[in-house]
Every structure is written in structure tokens, then in C-alpha cells.
Chain A
Amino acid sequence: DTAVSQTPKYLVTQMGNDKSIKCEQNLGHDTMYWYKQDSKKFLKIMFSYNNKELIINETVPNRFSPKSPDKAHLNLHINSLELGDSAVYFCASSRRGTGEETQYFGPGTRLLVL
């Protein structure tokens, strides 16, 4: 039973298109995150949500819009895709979002923009 799941696993699309990535966690956690991992494996926080409220927005372009319909879901919509958006996007969750908690990661969505 997957704890944090993401769909799709792979996404290949053309520049200028709009796409969405979905994330669901069945751990009963209050806090969810989106990370971007570039080709050099560098992992950077994009957004943090707690109880459906946006807590952290790390200077991500406005083309990226997260949406949390409920505590178990955090989706990422990307408008007008650019070549530089190509990366692996990871969703994660933690129980309450406090600093000492373990984060549980999804398997990642590999986005390639052509």
C-alpha cells in the first residue's frame, strides 16, 4: 500500500503546454511538500502546505500553482512549460510539519519539456 503516490510517473510534453502532476498520501499527515530535483540531483523545496494552507513558497515562478483540495492531496499545475522546467518533481509529506519530523517521499514525476 503506497504511502505517497504521484501521477504520472513520466511526462513528456512540448514547450508552452500546460500540465498537472497529482500527489496523494494515505499517512494521515497534515503537511505536504513539492520539491524539484534537477539533472545534477540537487533537491530544492518549492512549496509547503499545512492543513491545505500554503506555508512556504520558495520564489517559484507564477507559472507553478499548487492546489490542495484536502489534506491528503497536493497537486501541481504548471502553465506555459519551459525547457528549464525539465526535472524530477517529488511530492513528500510529514505529520505536522515540525522540523524534527521525517518526510516521506513519493516516487517522483519525471518531466521532460521538448
Chain B
Amino acid sequence: EIVLTQSPGTLSLSPGERATLSCRASQSVPSSYLAWYQQKPGQAPSLVIYGASSRATGIPDRFSGSGSGTDFTLTITRLEPEDFAVYYCQQYGTSPPYTFGQGTKLEIK
């Protein structure tokens, strides 16, 4: 089973700043099959990035994903108030389970 470790656990930033979220895998994720999700309180998660760097439909270009192998990054430039949420990474490149990270909470400073 691939274990995903996200850092930091909580990130406190102000609107307009740049956010960098990390997701590290315990072993290489095949074919960069890594996704990022955003979850706001009381809501289901929603897809932000898939294939490590492809934005989902409707996701603004201030969101970008990068990385390969065991190290992946979600970057949000120029934070907007609606971007503050919990972000999860997920790998879907090996046999199940398609594990999730423990989440990074992006909060307003």
C-alpha cells in the first residue's frame, strides 16, 4: 500500500499570497497517477488536479500541479477567499487501495 504524507498539516496565508502544498509518497506513483481534491466544510470533495498536473474542468489557472515519482506539489498563486479549504492528494496508480493523504488545511491568516 502506498502511503501519502501531506505537508504542512495547516497552512496559514492571506488572500493574494501563494500557497505551496506537498504530497510525498512512500513509493513511486506509476504514471503520475496523482490527484488533488478540495473540500470545504460540510461539502463533498471536488476534483482540482488529476494526472499530477491536469486541471479539472472549471478549475482556474491559478491552480497548478507538478511532480512525479514520489514528490508532488499543488500550487495556488494569488489566493482567493474561496480557495481556503482542506486539500487532499490521492494516488490511483497501483492496485487498490487508491490511498489518500491526511489532508492540508489552508486557512486564512
> Real complex partners, A and B?
no
Which B residues are closer than 8 A to A by beta carbons?
A: none
